Amino acid sequence: MKYMILSYGSQRDYDGMAGAATGDEAWTPEDFAAMTEFMRKFSAELEASGELVDTQGLPAPVHTRRVSGSNRAGVPVVVTDGPYAETQEVLAGYWIVECDSFDRATEIAIRLADCPAPRAVAARAYADVRPVGECADQLNS
């Protein structure tokens, strides 16, 4: 079974990683290097175990557009440039893993709690684990 592990961040987190003042403890170059190395090693271990299907990090939310609603012809009604005032958290990256169970996918996601980051960032970090539905019948099961 495939599972998607989704990690979240905010524009504030991206700004902090880029060295901008955010009001939180600042990211140092060493913090950023440690996080990058953790993510590289985490993904390499999943690849070596045969559980990694795909992983991608996503650019900052300011490089995002939200398309919502459409008319009957399928033409978008509203296009909004990011970041979005209605929410702070955005998808920062994901892993698709193929493993034996939801519990195993959850064990993998729990390891993300060890990712180095300034305290304030680590305190608000979270990930979701969701089964990947491969057909319409799996969407509500």
- Using one digit for the tens of pLDDT, what is the confidence trace for 9-60? 888 888 888 888 888 888 899 999 999 999 999 999 999 999 999 999 999 8
Which two structure tokens, joined as six digits, stand for 115? 């990712």
- Residue 61 vs residue 128, higher pLDDT: 128
Percent of the chain whose predicted confidence (pLDDT) is above 90: 52
Question: pLDDT category, 67, cuts 50, 70, 90?
Answer: confident
Per the rule left: phi > 0, alpha: psi between -120 and 50, beta: everything else, 8 is beta
Which of 14-23, 63-72, 79-88 shows the lowest per-residue confidence on average (mean pLDDT)?
Answer: 79-88
Average pLDDT of the residues of the chain? 88
Closest to 51 in 3D by CA, of 138, 119, 129: 129
The per-residue pLDDT for 89 is 81
Measured CA to CA, the distance from residue 19 to residue 9 in angstroms comes to 16
